[in-house]
Amino acid sequence: MRQDTYDDLPTSALKSSLTRLAYIGGGTVIYYLKPDTVHIGRNSQLRDYAILEVGGKLEIGEGCVIGAYNWIQASGSVTLGDGVIMGPHTSLISTSHQHTDPESKVADTPLLRGSVTVGNNVWIGAHVTVLMGVTIGDNTTIGSGSVVTRDIPANSVAFGNPCRVHRRK
C-alpha cells in the first residue's frame, strides 16, 4: 500500500486530484493501493493530521472539509457528497471483522467490506464515528460524540449513542 504524507503529496500519483484542494494540512497522510480509487473534489480541505486509508474506493465531493485528526477508513467504499463538513476527531469506517469464534484471533477473522455514504450538505460534529453500512441523507446534522450505526434520513438532526433522529428540519 502506498503512503503519501503532506511533504510528498505534490509529487505523488494523486497529484491531478490533489492540486485542486484549497488546503492540505500538515501531517496529513493518504494510504492507497491505486491512485484512480481516490477522488477529492475541487475546493475541498484536508485539515491537519487527517488520515485517509484507501484500500477500496474513496470519493470526496466538492467544497468538503475533512476536520483535523479525522480518519477515513475506506477498505470498502466511502462516498461524501458536496459540501460535507466533518468536525475534528471523526471516523468513517467501511469495514468490520466477522468474529464469531471466541477462540480465534480477531486478526485471523474475515474482513467484511461495506460502504459509508454521506449525502450533500451534511454537517458531522466532532468525535463522531460512522460505521460500515450507513447512509446519511442530504442536509443532515449529526451531533458531536454520536456513534452512527444505522441510516439517517435526509433533512434530519440526529445524535446520540447509538445515533437516532431527534427532529426533522
Active-site residue list: 97
**Residue 41, C-beta contacts closer than 8 angstroms, at least 6 positions apart:** 20, 60, 61, 62, 63, 64, 82
Q: What angle do CA 57, 9, 64 make, to 5 degrees?
A: 55
Distance CA 87, CA 96 (A): 23
Segment (H or E) for 12: none
Q: How far apart are CA 158 and CA 164, in angstroms?
A: 5
- Cα 76 to Cα 96: distance, rounded to the nearest angstrom: 10
C-alpha grid cell for residue 37?
480509487
